[in-house]
Amino acid sequence: MNDTATQPIFLKDYQEPHHWVRDVHLTFLLAPTATRVRSRITFVPNPQNPGDLELNGEDLRLLSVAVNGNDVPYEVTDTGLTIPAHALGEGDITFEAEVEIAPQENTALEGLYMSNGMYCTQCEAEGFRKITYYPDRPDVMGVFTVRIESDLPVLLSNGNPTQKGAGWAEWHDPWPKPAYLFALVAGDLVNHADTFTTKSGKAVDLNIWVRPGDEDKCAFGMEALKKSMTWDEDVYGREYDLDIFNIVAVDDFNMGAMENKGLNIFNSSCVLASPETSTDANFERIEGIIAHEYFHNWTGNRITCRDWFQLCLKEGLTVYRDQMFSGDMRSHPVKRIEEVLALRARQFREDNGPLAHPVRPESFVEINNFYTATVYEKGAEVIGMLRRVVGDEAYYKALDLYFDRHDGEAATIEDWLKVFEDTTGRDLAQFKQWYSQSGTPRLSVEETWDDGALTLFFSQETPATPSQTEKKPQVIPITVGLIGPNGDEVVPTTVLEMTEAEQSFTFENLGARPVASILRDFSAPVILNRHIDAPTRAFLLAHDTDPFQKWEMGRMLARDTLVAMIVDGTPPAATYLDAIRDVVVDDDLDPAFRALVLGLPSEDDIAQKLVDEGHTPDPQAIHDNRNELRRIRTDHLADILPALFDSMKTGAFVPDAEGSGKRSLRLAVLSMLTLIDGGAAARAAFAAADNMTEQAGSLRSLLLADMGQDALVAFEKQWKHDRLVMDKWFGMQVAYASPEKTAQIAQTLTQHPDFTMKNPNRFRAVFGALAGNHAGFHHESGAGYALLAKHLIELDKLNPQTAARMASAFETWRRYDPTRQDKMRAELARIGATKGLSRDMTEMVTRMLG
């Protein structure tokens, strides 16, 4: 890696380009190892910043260049092509070039590559420069016309189809766009077709393109797409703006999916669905991702980002929108709890370690390393807070202004906040710190009761994070409600707006001392430190009207129980066990909610909590105690489990909120039953399963009880032809392995004939599961660390983006005892010392060791 490649670039150094683009004509002559790309681009000099014509380009074989039809002097480097200003003449420039690329050899899956004989592209963030020379930056937007020549039957690009003939097709996208939204697909594909009529009466053709054989797995995705289109019209007033909307499923894909204008490309795992092969969680995720990519058409495509530091402008907002959509389609309380679980598991973990960065980073070496939980999920939380602070009405007014004012532009976070300031008259300078300050605020609360008045004293503090030692107080919307001693709500939810380091709020004229329910609906992404006793938590678990807080109290009881078991061997109190039992038997509660209450904090969560309390986590002890608590709870509930298991049986599989809620409670119960019935119920459920939720869920129960061998064999036999189902097979046996066997099982799976480093889903199935099996990955032998490091080094040569992403498994290394720290640091150092390491991985390792 040469020095310039690892130099950071800074937000503060942003400059407009020397040239804007008007239109782009591309011709692709597709061939696996020698694709020709001809370009004709009209550049318009930028009077604000005159200079050379600067184009990015990597791994391109340059065949010809001309400006206005003539030869010109130019300089080509590993990263681009520059034509000196003096050679450009006056006025607009017609630039023409021809390059050759080899999609077949592109294992990084960035730019134009091949997957199972099909051509496809992934250009965000900086992949277009691997297709041709171009100003590959999001503030440069052009109108694209694309001609594809290939014998493959289906040839797709952005926008609307214009003409086609034997062996060729042309597409025109009337909406100016940055190069990262470019897409091309060519393959032997079949489509699931439908149509949608927009509110204003425009007919849109919809297609989901898949490999032959997958046609029967498109119907659910298509429904999700139509629901998304309707929802964006109804809730945000946004219509679709082309004649056609295409989705393509690709097996080899680095991320979930990509919002290319009019031609979304999906990891096949995020679009293909059938009851037999997909779990309820898969269905829910597919619905959310289809919505996410569709919603990008307005928040991302019509209004894009000025530069990559503004990534949260499109991602935070689009995640927020897809979360609201999923809540509307399913259950808001359940969705909110799932969001918080994911936020804590991924974003809080990131914010507490060496990879912490602001929602809007100030510098980066490789932008692909910043498609993070902080940018996406914390970015969405910030929008939720903004909405809470200004209110619903002002939120939608501000959004209308945002779309009016910035349509067709490449915008910034400043632009975004300004529309809120202009609609509300508020000063959002302090609020803006949510974009610039990294780290998770710790919010502490104490209370006093004085003659009918309850006062809550809050204080906030954000711990230091890399390159940010001084932290300022944030604006924290704290939602509070009060529950009277008889269990009735006496003060409904109100939003307290905290802006100081310390601030108190008083509720007056109260009859008897109520119990406060604080941070309802998780109104801010903070860690709340509140010392209340177990009976008070149990009281809120029983009576809180806010479903999030109700769940949270059960979770806090479980967490405190586990911490006490681990730290000083205190056995679980009856308060906790009885409170859980009361919820589980309460038929008035949504089964999905009851299943969530039964869930225990993850081992990683407990490790982080122990660190917060000044202990050094012992992964094996966490694992053993958590299992012990599972056993104790099972004994406490044993008499009700069989009947509850039977009563949650569903009929014909419908992947809706109701069915999935029942199945999740049924399977949570099954995993307990398996601890006491020798696996009989799980084996029977596995054998009888007619849907993947039940099949995978019963297999999971068996694996967790170390009784899964026969089921694994049967599962493989049944599904060996199905890549997506086999990913589950690879993943589950690692995810649920006992600690001492985890690394060995993962290692053995890499020898399986169906294991391949070239398919990111398969690699993630094994190694994501290894990293996610806390006690297994952190087993004292160090075998988990060594195995992951070895494979990351190998993968980095093929696919730096996915390798670097998975390296974050090591981000928590400072949490553990000196022996584990040494082992993890040594593996990081070993990765870092690898010759020819990618820029992606170099940056990740440097930050983690830094």
User: Residue 254 gets which letter from DSSP?
Assistant: S
**Min CB(414)–Zn ion separation in Å:** 21
Tell me how crowded residue 639 is: count the other CB atoms within 10 A of its CB: 9
Residue 291 CB: number of other CB atoms within 10 A? 25
Place of tokens 């300004």: 418
Structure token pair of residue 744: 């060995």
**Least distance to ligand ARG, CB of residue 343, Å:** 16
With CB cut-offs between 5 and 8 Å by kind, which of Zn ion, ligand ARG, none does residue 258 bind? ligand ARG
840 binds, among ligand ARG, Zn ion, none (CB under 5 to 8 A by kind): none
* Residue 744 one-letter amino acid: Q
Considering the complex, state which of residue 369 and residue 561 has its C-beta at the smaller distance from Zn ion: 369
**Distance of closest approach, residue 371 Cβ to Zn ion, in angstroms:** 9
Compute the radius of gyration of the chain from its Cα atoms: 27
**DSSP 8-state symbol, 346:** I
Beta carbon nearer to Zn ion, 45 or 178: 178
Please, what sign has the CA dihedral across residues 429, 430, 433, 434? Answer: negative
Measured distance CA(524)–CA(478) in Å, rounded:
7
Q: Report how far residue 228's alpha carbon sits from residue 287's, in angstroms, rounded to the nearest whole number.
A: 9
Q: Which of ligand ARG, Zn ion, none interacts with 368 (beta carbon under 5 to 8 A by kind)?
A: ligand ARG
Question: CB–CB of 546/481 below 8 Å?
Answer: yes
Place of tokens 């299992």: 627
Question: Is the CB of 173 or the CB of 603 nearer to ligand ARG?
Answer: 173
CB of 175 to Zn ion, least distance (A): 18
Residue nearest to ligand ARG (CB): 371
Reported as type and span, the H/E element at residue 675 is helix 657-676
Q: What are phi and psi of 297, to 5 degrees?
A: -55, -35
Size of the site for Zn ion (CB under 5 A): 2
Q: Which is nearer to ligand ARG, 695 or 759 (CB)?
A: 759
CB 540 within 8 A of CB 483: yes
Binding partner of 590, given ligand ARG, Zn ion, none, CB within 5-8 angstroms per partner class:
none
Phi/psi at 179 (5° precision): -65, -25
CB nearer Zn ion, residue 318 or residue 698: 318
- Report the SS3 class of residue 710: helix
610 binds, among ligand ARG, Zn ion, none (CB under 5 to 8 A by kind): none
From Zn ion, ligand ARG, none, interface partner of 204 (C-beta below 5 to 8 A by class): none
Say how many C-beta atoms besides its own lie within 10 A of residue 209's C-beta: 25
Q: Which is nearer to ligand ARG, 126 or 604 (CB)?
A: 126
Cβ neighbours of residue 721 closer than 8 Å, sequence gap 6 or more: none
Nearer to Zn ion, 288 or 731 (CB): 288
The pair of three-digit structure tokens given for residue 190, joined into one six-digit string? 């079949």
Between 149 and 843, CB nearer to ligand ARG: 843
Residues that bind ligand ARG in the complex, under the rule CB under 6 A:
124-125, 255, 257-259, 292-293, 315, 368, 371
Task: In whole angstroms, give the CA distance from residue 581 to residue 588.
Answer: 14
* Residue 9 CA to its chain's centroid (Å): 24
Q: What is the DSSP string of 530-593?
A: E---HHHHHHHHHH-SSHHHHHHHHHHHHHHHHHHHHHH-PPPPHHHHHHHHHHHT-TTS-HHH
Shortest Å distance, C-beta 668 to Zn ion: 31
Q: Which two tokens stand for residue 329?
A: 């389609």
Q: Which of 209, 179, 211, 206 shows the shortest CA–CA distance to 195?
A: 206
Q: Which does 544 bind (CB under 5 to 8 A by kind): ligand ARG, Zn ion, none?
A: none
In angstroms, rounded to a whole number, what is the distance separating the alpha carbons of residues 841 and 829? Answer: 12
811 makes contact, choosing from ligand ARG, Zn ion, none, with CB < 5 to 8 Å by partner type, with: none
Q: Which is nearer to Zn ion, 269 or 318 (CB)?
A: 318
Q: Which of ligand ARG, Zn ion, none lies near 345, with the C-beta cut-off 5 to 8 A by kind? A: none
Of 21 and 248, the one with the shorter C-beta distance to Zn ion is: 248
Q: How far apart are CA 810 and CA 487, in angstroms?
A: 45
Closest CA relative to residue 654, chosen from 397, 274, 370: 274
**What 8-state DSSP symbol labels residue 345?**
I
Q: Which is nearer to Zn ion, 298 or 548 (CB)?
A: 298
Give the residue among 664, 674, 721 at the shortest CA–CA distance from 699.
674
Shortest CB 335 distance to ligand ARG, Å: 18
Nearest to ligand ARG of 258, 673 (CB atom): 258
Distance CA 281, CA 289 (A): 12
From the candidates 149, 293, 381, 552, give the one annotated as an active-site residue: 293
Least separation in angstroms between CB 319 and Zn ion: 7
**40 bridge partner residues:** 25, 96
Q: Is residue 426 within 8 Å of residue 475, measured between CB atoms?
A: no
| Residue entry with tokens 């070239």 | 758
Residue 371: contacted member of ligand ARG, Zn ion, none (CB under 5 to 8 Å, by partner type) = ligand ARG
Shortest distance (Å) from residue 145 CB to ligand ARG: 24
Q: For the CB of residue 24, give the shortest distance to Zn ion in the complex, in Å.
A: 23
Residue 251 interaction partner, one of Zn ion, ligand ARG, none, beta carbon < 5-8 Å per kind: none
What is the pattern of x (binds Zn ion, CB under 5 A) and - over residues 305-324?
----------x--x------
Q: Select from Zn ion, ligand ARG, none the partner in contact with residue 123, using the beta carbon and a kind-dependent cut-off of 5 to 8 Å.
A: none
Residue 293 a catalytic site member: yes
Name every residue whose Cβ is closer than 8 Å to that of residue 458 and which is 6 or more positions away in sequence: 443, 444, 445, 476, 478, 496, 498, 502, 503, 504, 505
Q: Which does 257 bind (CB under 5 to 8 A by kind): Zn ion, ligand ARG, none?
A: ligand ARG
Task: Decide whether 369 or 733 has the Cβ nearer to ligand ARG.
Answer: 369
Written in H, E and C, the secondary structure of 320-344 is HHHHHHHHHHCCHHHHHHHHHHHHH
Least separation, in Å, of the C-beta of 183 and ligand ARG? 12
Supply the minimum distance, in Å, between the C-beta of residue 760 and Zn ion. Answer: 17
- β-bridge partners, 302: none
- Please state the closest distance from residue 695 (CB atom) to Zn ion, in A: 31
Which residue is associated with the tokens 């059960």?
554
Q: How far is the CB of 261 from ligand ARG (least distance, A)?
A: 12
Helix (H, G, I), strand (E, B) or coil at 9: strand
Give catalytic residues, as residue numbers. Answer: 293
Residues at the site binding Zn ion, with contacts judged by CB under 5 A: 315, 318
